[in-house]
Structure 1
């Protein structure tokens, strides 16, 4: 798009009309970019990731609300720093982040994370790990 603006500016500066701007090439380039961006990631348009710190705390609150214990999971060897980092990264890319904030504000305890949560399975496994490690061995 910047290329189109630069070309248009050059043509206008030379005293030419807008009809002389090579639109066909520029429109083809713009269409190629739109097609490329819309097909990356399985046909979804790429969106910017959210703030790391905000999503770290959203994930901590989600774990607390669902009863998952990341500290116990780390102590039991289920969760390492790389896994936690990937969970935060998934949270940052989630499209449900605004509704997540509202859901966490309205909910004090839940048996599982809501369906749109990208970390739902990992939090459920973390919760199961905490329950199994707390259960007495007979």
Structure 2
């Protein structure tokens, strides 16, 4: 089993991926669409992901226009797209 990555590093990656997807995590949390437990699970899933370097490259490229489709390799791709749809994004 792969050791979990640094919490802060992956927290920032999740924020970056959510922004790229067009998901408003603050709004999702305020409306109850995203619970604290689920938020912790999303970050933990990111910490365990094998696509760590690909994710860093994706985020480094930046997204001039958002939302964009999150790469399939992202373990949180589906949920971030759902949150984007729920909070007004189009990913």
- The TM-score, its normalising length taken from structure 2, stands at 0.89
Cα separation, 1, equivalents of 2:42 and 2:17: 12
Q: Is the 8 A contact 2:19 2:67 kept in 1?
A: no
Aligned to 2:20: 65
Identify unmatched segments of 5+ residues in structure 1. Answer: 1-45, 133-138
In the TM superposition, what are the counterparts of 1:1-138 in structure 2 within 5 Å?
Answer: 46-108=1-63, 109-131=66-88
Judge conservation of contact 2:28–2:87 (CA < 8 Å) in 1: yes
Segments ≥4 residues shifted beyond 3 Å: none
Q: Deviations over 1:24-65 (max 9, x none)?
A: xxxxxxxxxxxxxxxxxxxxxx11111011000000011111
Higher RCO, 1 vs 2 (CA within 8 Å, ≥6 residues apart): 2
Measured in 2, the distance between the counterparts of 1:98 and 1:111 equals: 19
RMSD over aligned Cα, in angstroms?
1.4
Scaled by the length of structure 1, the TM-score of the pair is 0.60
Segments of structure 2 that go 5 or more residues without pairing to the other structure are none
- Residue deviations 1:2-35 (CA, integer Å, cap 9, x gap): xxxxxxxxxxxxxxxxxxxxxxxxxxxxxxxxxx
User: Bigger radius of gyration, 1 or 2?
Assistant: 1
